[in-house]
Amino acid sequence: MFNLQKDQLFTLVKSLTKAEKRSFRLYVNRLQSSAKFIQLFDVLDKMEAYDEEEALRRLPGVKKRHLANLKRHLYKQILTSLRLIHIQKSIDIEIREQIDFARILYGKGMYMQALRILESTKRKAVDHHQDILHLEIIEFQKLIEARHITRSRSVQNKMEALLEEAEERSYIAHSSNLFSNFNIQMHGWYIQYGHIKSEAEREQVQAYFRRHLPAEQLDRPLTFFEKVNLYQAYFWHRYILLDFRGALDYARQWVALFQANAQMMEKDPVLFMRGQYYLLVLLYLLRDTATYGEELRCFESFVEEVREGLNENGELIAIVYLNLSRLNYAFISGQYQQGVALIPEINAELKRLSADTDVHRILLFYFKFAYLHFLMGQCEQALHYLNEIIHLKAGHLRDDLLHNARVLHLLCHYELGNYHLLEYLIPSVRRLFDKATDLSPMLSQTVDFLAQLSALPLSERPAATRTFQRALAQSSASEYEKKAVNYLDLPAWLEAKLAPKAKSTGL
């Protein structure tokens, strides 16, 4: 399913919507319709998969040595066309266009016209919190004022105000850089090390946090993006420490900041949706079903409202985050049948998005599909999705996803009575776990238990299960395991084995 090696130009052509293709053809219509790069566009547009030799056969007169330059030219023309379409949707593109116009006017000696454009564009940059572009505009204004005699000199305190503004913006740009660095550093810690697993690691995280926190910048009012980066950094800090309530507080502040700045929800919907998704993740981990349902409805309403204005990246994020949140609601509410009913629609969207999203995200969906089927007692269907995860030929999976998938794979075979397969599969899982640096003890204990259980007579299994249930309860009670249970609720599975009518829960 996953073709990880694609030609960049071919991928770009295939990503175009009908409207974008129509706009591109209108854009290049001013050129000769027989231009080779237009012919190349038509050839690539009709291809199902990229084949360079086939492309050359369909392009008479084009030699292989010329193809690279032709592709480069077509790539540039497509991007230029897309820029013209998206300029009204992206405030930073719009502002940069105005800066470019000012540079052209300046180059023609029209200093006052350039300054007027820069002044009006600067107000737009301020209104939309575009701090870096704001600074760039000021520096351009200073360049013109320093090199030429303009009417600005006759306006009282005009130059002093410009210099003060430049100093203030330089400081804010530096401060914004510190806060964005801080956010990336805390997120990077989580990506590299995950959640804490001991008190020693807690102290390491706290020391890292204190070392990188730009505390000296907190004594003044912060700009929009300084705040949002700060809230994200605090969110990751509390999340790493397994302080889910603390992380929820900062996720709420992240979301509330956008809600208080409605135009930023419109201009940067991806960052807002990211905050909304993590807010829901925390509510899931805290098992707050009622609040989760309310927030999910708000998320769905927002996506429905802005869907038509989203670019491809925004649409991708909306589909991924919203569908993950819907599946999580099925888990937290115990509505497994409703969750299973979502799978066909989500699967159709994943096939459409497979070329544009990373493998891990798709296989995360597959794990959730598999777990829903497992909770419904549909182990054969669960194995279909688990095999996709386990037998991935290329790409990289996060370790926790692979580890949970392997254990759930064993549980499915056990439920199906495939004990002979367990004898074959368990050694390979143990070898994988031996190499792991961040493995939940509950997973390795469960593998050992399945090896023991499958070898016992049926009459002795309930007693062995009760013994293991007591042992696993001690592991699951650890604060370092409270997130792991949400991804694969092994205690609930044991409870269901001992009391078949008991209700199991999990992610």
- Domains, the chain, ranges and CATH? 8-86 (no CATH), 91-174 (no CATH), 198-357 (1.25.40), 368-507 (no CATH)
Any idea which residue has 């509330």 for tokens? Answer: 256
Provide the token pair at 500: 């078949």
pLDDT in tens, 47-94: 888 888 888 888 887 888 888 888 998 998 888 888 887 776 778 888
pTM comes to 0.78
Residue 354 neighbours by CB distance under 10 Å: 14
Condensed to tens digits (0 to 9), the pLDDT of residues 203-223 reads: 999 999 999 999 888 888 899
344-354 pLDDT per residue, tens: 999 998 887 76
* The residue to which tokens 């190349």 are assigned: 40
Question: b/e map of 45-65 (b: 16 or more CB within 10 Å)?
Answer: eebeebeeeebeeebeebeee
Q: What is the pLDDT of residue 54?
A: 85
Nearest CA to 78 out of 39, 31, 38 is that of: 38
Q: What is the pLDDT of residue 153?
A: 57
- Report the pLDDT value the prediction gives residue 127, as an integer from 0 to 100: 84
* HEC readout, 242-282: CCHHHHHHHHHHHHHHHHCCHHHHHHCHHHHHHHHHHHHHH
How many Cα atoms are found within 13 Å in the side-chain-facing hemisphere of 101?
15
Q: Which of 348, 357, 286 is nearest to 320 (CA)?
A: 357
Length of the chain: 507
The residue among 298, 292, 297 whose CA lies nearest residue 280 is 292
Q: Which of 142-151, 239-248, 478-487 has the highest mean pLDDT?
A: 239-248
φ, ψ at 263 (rounded to 5°): -65, -25
CA distances from 426 to 211, 406, 430, 458 (A): 44, 9, 6, 20
